[in-house]
Amino acid sequence: MKILDKEEEFDELVKSGKVVVDFFANWCGPCKMLAPVLEAVSKDNDNVTFIKVDTDKCQNLARRFGIMSIPTLKVFVDGKEKKTAVGFMDREELEDFIK
């Protein structure tokens, strides 16, 4: 799972295939709860790319996508935003969300 360091890399990272983006912050309790679930699901889904975006470090991306609450997950397919979910999800919910 890649943690985005530079906002400029975002469009390149989501431009092809299915990409799940986790908008999070280190101080966020539900984000910390979601992290191990995301990690486990990412290991079982080789055909999906997982990216974490720290909203404190990438504030322009958070604004661009209207992130008002975290964690927020977005699914992109070939660069186009397809789905959004806000809040903690257990493994089953997350797997259903990314299908």
Contacts of 82 (CB under 8 A, 6+ apart): 75, 76
> 13, 28, 48, 86: which is the annotated catalytic residue?
28
Catalytic site includes residue 28: yes
> 4, 14, 21, 31: which is the annotated catalytic residue?
31
Rounded to an integer, what distance in angstroms lies between the CA atom of residue 34 and that of residue 77?
A: 22
Catalytic site includes residue 58: no
Question: Which contiguous run of DSSP H or E holds residue 22?
Answer: strand 18-24
Q: Which residues are catalytic?
A: 28, 31
